[in-house]
Structures are given as C-alpha cells and as structure tokens.
Structure 1
Amino acid sequence: MSPTDQLVANTEGTELYIEVQHFYGRQMRLLDEAEVEAWAATFTEDGVFAANAHPEPARGRAAIEAGARQAASQLAAEGIQRRHWLGMLEVAPRADGAIVVRSYALILSTKLGGQAEVRLSCTCDDVLVRKDGQLLVQDRRVFRDDLPKG
C-alpha cells in the first residue's frame, strides 16, 4: 500500500499542522546538531528511510542511526555544517490513524569560513505514527531533484 492510500479529509486542521511543523523543527535540529541517536529515535523501531540517492533503504532504527552517524562523521571531518529546511508541508491524516506528510526539503551546506550554499533540493514523503503520544516516522522517502525519481 502506498503512503497516500486511504487518505481522509483533514478535520484536525491547524493543530495537527502545527504539531507536525514542531516535530520537523525538532527532528531537523537534532540531525543538524549531529545528535544522531536522538534523531534516529524519532523513527519507529522498524522505520524505513529510503532515498533515490541510496541503493537500498535503511530498515530499522539501528540502521538509520548508523547511516546518520557515518554522514555526520564525514561532514565533521570536512568541516561542513549542514542545515535542513522543510517547508510547503501537506499534512493529511489517514483512516488508520497514520499521518501522511509531503514536503519540500532544502539542504544547505556551509564549509567553515565559507559561504552557505543550497546543496540539494528534494521532496520528502513521510508516514508518521503516534507511539506513547509522540509522533514518529514510520516510513520516509526522499527524492533528490537532481536524480531520477525511480
């Protein structure tokens, strides 16, 4: 089943949208500050992170954390600060209680002593679920604009 199957009308409106915005603000800040364990904890234990830039999806929180840790180490070694900006969110609850979120993502890179630049432009399709009252990513699909979507 695709993430957009079984969409229902957004009757929760503004409160849900604000909650999702807050979730992403915290999640992206954790990633940009190299808090990879805390960032990975924003995924379900069986979460999936797939990207058209990766040959295979990362499956499970441990694999997602390992990938983020490797990327953070490489960026630190190169003296690069990354910032992720998500915007243009489309938030839609599904009948099963999950929330489908589609967004645009810009990834900015700044080399120590250098100028900030837009490194990547992407779309992001997430399925969020609630566990113990907290939003978590169950499934993330990232599509870089410079690569085939396939």
Structure 2
Amino acid sequence: MVRQQVTGDLYAEVQSFYAWQMRRVDALDVEGFAATFTDDGVVVHADGHRQAGREEMVAGMRARLPRYKDVAVRHWFGHLLIEAGGAGEDTVRVSYYTLVTQVDGEGKVSFQPTFTVEDVLVRVDGRLLTRSRVIHRDVPGRPGAAAVL
C-alpha cells in the first residue's frame, strides 16, 4: 500500500497538538482537556462506553479523578500514522499507540494496559480539535485495531 506523506509542518502540528492535549489531561485539567475536542466531539472507550460532547466528557473525567489521587499520570503516544484529507481539507485522521504510566510518591512506576487509538482531528478557526476518538485495548493475537487508516 502506498501512503501519501504528510508535510513536516502538519506532522509537527499534530505532535504539538497531542503534547498540549495530554499535558492537560495529565495535569487533571478536565475543562482544558475537553476544550481540545469539538463541542460535539465523541470518545468511544475501549469498554464500549461512549461520551458525546464536552459536558459528558467533563462529568466522566470528574467522576474518575479520585483514582488519580497521590499519583502522577503520564500519557505517552507513539508510532503516529497521519493521513490528511478525507472528509475535507481540514480533516486529519491519526492512528497511534498509547502507554499510560503512573508514578507514586516514592517514585514507583506502574504501567497501564496499552491501547491503539483512532482520532479524527478537524481544523476549527485555524487550530486542531478532536472530533472523534475511538480507543481499542491491545489484546494478544489481535493486530492493532487501527493498523491501516
């Protein structure tokens, strides 16, 4: 399969977008994280739970905040596959692997399950926002859900 290369500028923009988005979630800034989605953005979690719109996202994240008491959380993304175009010139499809670490007060690191994520990013008023995110938990024997965009 021949894949069209995206520009270095777009690749850097997408990387910077994710760095900003994940720093919001790692800082437990739920409103800031939700603001990186479109108003009608959708997240489909690995367990099938679906959240639509920023209000649902904020409520869901607030309910999970107690599990992050006394740990520092970091989201690590890698192996990004980026495809521009599709539904419109201002649409970017991204598939990537994610690893989440948690560090306790004594510096002990624990690793959470790994996931493959499929995002659709859109440009709104000149900046990227996430329109949809589908998260797939990695399972032995099953190739990454988003191996091919």
TM-score between both structures, scaled by the size of structure 1: 0.84
Query: Is 1:36 aligned with 2:34?
Result: no
Q: State the Cα distance separating 1:114 from its structure 2 match.
A: 4.3
Of residues 36, 41, 55, the one that matches 1:62 is 55
Query: Is 1:74 aligned with 2:62?
Result: no
- Give the aligned partner of residue 17 of structure 1: 11
Distance (whole Å) between structure 2 residues aligned to residue 41 and residue 73 of structure 1: 21
Task: Kindly indicate whether structure 1 or structure 2 has the higher relative contact order, using CA contacts under 8 Å at least 6 residues apart.
Answer: 1
- Give the aligned partner of residue 92 of structure 1: 83
Secondary structure of the 1:120 match is coil
Secondary structure of the 1:138 match is strand
What is the identity percentage for the equivalent residue pairs of Structure 1 and Structure 2?
35
TM-score between both structures, scaled by the size of structure 2: 0.85
Query: Any idea what the Cα deviations from partners look like across 1:24-50, whole Å, max 9, x if unmatched?
Result: 001001100011101100000000011
- Give the aligned partner of residue 139 of structure 1: 132
Q: State the Cα distance separating 1:56 from its structure 2 match.
A: 2.4
Distance (whole Å) between structure 1 residues aligned to residue 134 and residue 118 of structure 2: 5
Residue type of the alignment partner of 1:111: D
Distance (whole Å) between structure 1 residues aligned to residue 63 and residue 36 of structure 2: 18
Residue type of the alignment partner of 1:92: E
Which ranges of structure 2 fall in alignment gaps of 5 or more residues? Answer: none
Query: Any idea what the Cα deviations from partners look like across 1:101-133, whole Å, max 9, x if unmatched?
Result: 000000101122241121121111000001111
Report if aligned partners of 1:43, 1:138 keep a CA contact under 8 Å in 2.
yes
Which ranges of structure 1 fall in alignment gaps of 5 or more residues? Answer: 1-7
Q: State the Cα distance separating 1:70 from its structure 2 match.
A: 1.9
How many residues in Structure 1 have an aligned counterpart in Structure 2? 138
Secondary structure of the 1:9 match is coil
